[in-house]
A and B are shown apart, each in its own frame.
Chain A
């Protein structure tokens, strides 16, 4: 029996209070996420239950019980207090998927700090932009990534604590602190800071079409939504072995890679290694994974390897599968049903929504390729693109709109209230995605409503790439667009006009690709570069990215009346 039971019944009768009551949220004035993900589970008698089984790429394994999570997060919280981190200070987590990342996240929340996880593959420019915007006070980092911070720290006056979690015997530089979680004096009792439910907890950065990345700021009461969506959509049950493949540098990795499973008291496993089909199947087999939450890009890579490799492994432990990041194509749903005997259930949500909002539910009839239906407590509709009035006719494409007010919704963009306010139209939060609803109430994704590139489930802003490209010595002007890709949905393609004196060549293309990879991230690296004499512009000089994108997608170019004359 799945946790949700009848979706229709739940939708009719649901109130978020139900989740609060199950969590006993606010009991004794406690609203801190850190408590609900560790101490509370221990108080319920599950202190000896495994919370985290971690495996590194070399095969090293570490295991942590809920009591270990409690004590280690206490230890980290106390350490942060002792070095001068206070309530509301932003503490960046910049690590691979090592145990310290998960435990520090809880530790930061326990002492009232704001966790700012960032994808550890970010280059120094991407890192600088996000630390500068958040006025981050401390960064917890592995020594392998330290060189990036050392290059930019002189430009970050607020960044006064650089905490190296796996330092060697070398002498720390100015503002650097060595901290070894396993060797530190363990703190059994820690006064978890009694923050209010509306106190900021996490900032996740996400990209837009224009301007710098925006920090979606969440609050402690987001756990109300993360807990119940984990329970009803991921169907987490006490005996589950849960594997969320997302990196906590992105929102899935915190909402459903830390908060959701641990608030539910579930054992989760983490593989800190790059993708490999056989490696992943062997991991499922070894740990008898029951619930697997992954991404369409990974599923399509598994598909590429075919059925024969599936048969080499015993994957019979798998009970439920779900997917997030970009729309899961119908072929992948059908394939997984054949390969694993069960389909991947697609879930739709965003960094800004903090938790799933439109999804396929256990027990519900899946229509392959559909996003599913709104989570109970979420009022979702399709809005007319001009009037922002709900469209009542099935099949008409418009913008996905959500009625504000669910617990995990971002409360603002950090330092950017104006952009936040601009996300609301006619009383609806506008997600920025186009979709339609069919006559049975299922949502069907169509595409983004802006130029943001969704590559392997991660949003990449063209402006950030174009700005970085202009820093390359040979680039005169550039435009970055998403081009279709069978595995990643979209990949970055750059159109580049070179400065006089530079000539296009394979070497030049490779040099520019690597330049962006190191400055921003591998995700932002153009997978293809087309050299052009000049870029199409409006008469006012604005590059017409839309035109280039349409060409890549084989779409109608549309209105070109504002195009600059050659």
Chain B
């Protein structure tokens, strides 16, 4: 997936899950779930955003904390489901 996709996800995470003055930098490797930036309950809204934005359906059993733990992991997940 393109750099645009990466940027789009990073921007969304920053906008929805972090405060402007949080001082936390998010890149494609930043831990999202294990760092507490996104908790397991909030994964539902992140999953909904991804499904809507990228027109994919991520099965619930694939939406694990590990699969959502970084933007790189998320892109891998999206790739898995856009291929099919």
Say whether A304 contacts B39, CB under 8 Å: no
Say whether A57 contacts B34, CB under 8 Å: yes
Say whether B34 contacts A273, CB under 8 Å: yes
What chain A residues lie within 8 Å of B38 (beta carbons)? Answer: 274
Type the 1/0 row for B40-84, where 1 means its CB is closer than 8 Å to any CB of A.
Answer: 111011001100100000000100111001000000000000000
- Chain A nearest CB: distance from B75 CB in Å? 19
Instruction: Say yes or no: is A506 at the interface (Cβ < 8 Å to chain B).
Output: yes
Q: Which of A99-107, A220-228, A517-525 touches B? A: A517-525
Instruction: Say yes or no: is A363 at the interface (Cβ < 8 Å to chain B).
Output: no
What chain B residues lie within 8 Å of A509 (beta carbons)? Answer: 48
The CB with the most chain B CB atoms within 10 A, among A272, A304, A510, is that of: A510
Q: Which of A57, A455, A514, A523 contacts B36 (CB 8 A)?
A: A57
Say whether B40 contacts A523, CB under 8 Å: no
- Chain A nearest CB: distance from B34 CB in Å? 5
What chain A residues lie within 8 Å of B33 (beta carbons)? Answer: 274-276
Q: In the bound complex, how far is the Cα of B52 from the Cα of A514, in angstroms?
A: 15
Q: Which residue of A lies closest to B49 (CB)?
A: A510
Say whether A510 contacts B48, CB under 8 Å: yes
Q: In the bound complex, how far is the Cα of B47 from the Cα of A36, in angstroms?
A: 46
Contact residues on B (Cβ < 8 Å of other chain), bracket = 20 to 34
Q: Which of B21, B41, B48, B49 contacts A147 (CB 8 A)?
A: B21
Instruction: Say yes or no: is A546 at the interface (Cβ < 8 Å to chain B).
Output: no
Say whether B42 contacts A147, CB under 8 Å: no
Q: In the bound complex, how far is the Cα of B45 from the Cα of A507, in angstroms?
A: 11
Instruction: Say yes or no: is B35 at the interface (Cβ < 8 Å to chain A).
Output: yes
Q: Which residue of A lies closest to B69 (CB)?
A: A276
Instruction: Say yes or no: is B19 at the interface (Cβ < 8 Å to chain A).
Output: yes
Contact residues on A (Cβ < 8 Å of other chain), bracket = 20 to 34
Say whether B49 contacts A96, CB under 8 Å: no
Instruction: Say yes or no: is A503 at the interface (Cβ < 8 Å to chain B).
Output: no
Instruction: Say yes or no: is B22 at the interface (Cβ < 8 Å to chain A).
Output: yes
Say whether B45 contacts A513, CB under 8 Å: yes
Q: In the bound complex, how far is the Cα of B42 from the Cα of A514, in angstroms?
A: 8
The CB with the most chain B CB atoms within 10 A, among A57, A274, A456, A513, is that of: A274
Say whether A274 contacts B52, CB under 8 Å: no
Say whether A57 contacts B39, CB under 8 Å: no
What chain A residues lie within 8 Å of B31 (beta carbons)? Answer: 57
Instruction: Say yes or no: is B11 at the interface (Cβ < 8 Å to chain A).
Output: no
What chain A residues lie within 8 Å of B69 (beta carbons)? Answer: 276
What chain B residues lie within 8 Å of A456 (beta carbons)? Answer: 41
Say whether B34 contacts A525, CB under 8 Å: no
Q: 11 more A-B contacts (CB under 8 A) besides A147-B19, A509-B48?
A: A58-B35, A121-B39, A144-B22, A273-B35, A274-B34, A274-B36, A301-B65, A507-B52, A513-B48, A522-B42, A525-B45
Write 28 A-B pairs (CB below 8 A) sorted by A numbering: A57-B34, A144-B22, A144-B24, A273-B34, A274-B33, A274-B65, A275-B33, A276-B66, A276-B69, A277-B64, A277-B66, A279-B34, A301-B65, A304-B61, A507-B52, A509-B48, A510-B45, A510-B49, A510-B52, A513-B48, A514-B16, A514-B45, A517-B42, A522-B39, A522-B41, A523-B41, A525-B42, A527-B44
Which B positions have Cβ atoms within 8 angstroms of A? 16, 19, 21-22, 24, 31, 33-36, 38-42, 44-45, 48-49, 52, 61, 64-66, 69
